[in-house]
C-alpha cells in the first residue's frame, strides 16, 4: 500500500482500511477485517499504456478469478475501445489489485519492473 501511495506514476490508492481513507470508520464498522483488495489510479494516457503495464507484470497475473492465492490485477478499462478512453476520467485509469500470499517484496519488485518498462523506456 505504501509503495503505491508513494509512487510517482500513481495518482491515488483506494483502500477502505487505510488510515487516510475518508470512510474508514464506516468500513471498519461494516467489515470484520481488511483484505488484500485495493484499487490504484495510474497516471496513464491511453488504454494501451495501462494494458501494457498489466501485461508487463511477470508474476502478478491479469485475471478476474479471485479464488486462488496468487496476486492478480484487472484494469477497469479492460476491453474498452481506445477511442472511448478519456485520460481525465479517473475511473478509466483504475487498476484493481488483489494482493495474494506472496512476500511483499516480491510483489513490489514486479510492480516496479512494470512501471519502469512502460513509463520510463
Query: By C-alpha distance, which of 78, 108, 73, 112 is closest to 92?
Result: 78
What is residue 70's predicted lDDT score, i.e. its pLDDT?
A: 92
Kindly report the pTM of this predicted structure: 0.88
* CA angle at 21 for the pair 20 and 26, rounded to the nearest 5°: 125
What is residue 57's predicted lDDT score, i.e. its pLDDT?
A: 98
| Average pLDDT along the chain, 121 residues, taken 10 residues at a time | 95 86 75 82 96 97 84 93 94 96 96 97 72
Sorted by sequence, the CB contacts under 8 Å of residue 19 that are 6+ apart come out as none
Domains and CATH numbers, the chain: 2-119 (3.90.1150.10)
Amino acid at each position: 500500500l505504501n509503495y503505491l501511495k508513494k509512487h510517482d506514476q500513481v495518482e491515488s490508492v483506494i483502500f477502505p482500511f487505510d488510515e487516510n481513507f475518508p470512510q474508514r470508520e464506516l468500513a471498519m464498522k461494516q467489515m470484520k477485517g481488511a483484505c488484500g483488495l485495493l484499487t490504484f489510479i495510474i497516471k496513464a494516457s491511453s488504454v494501451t499504456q495501462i494494458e501494457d503495464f498489466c501485461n508487463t507484470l511477470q508474476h502478478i497475473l491479469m485475471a478476474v478469478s479471485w479464488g486462488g492465492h496468487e496476486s492478480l490485477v484487472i484494469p477497469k478499462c479492460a476491453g474498452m475501445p481506445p477511442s472511448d478512453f478519456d485520460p481525465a476520467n479517473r475511473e478509466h485509469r483504475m487498476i484493481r489489485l488483489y494482493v495474494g500470499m506472496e512476500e511483499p517484496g516480491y510483489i513490489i519488485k514486479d510492480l516496479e519492473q512494470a512501471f519502469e518498462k512502460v513509463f520510463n523506456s
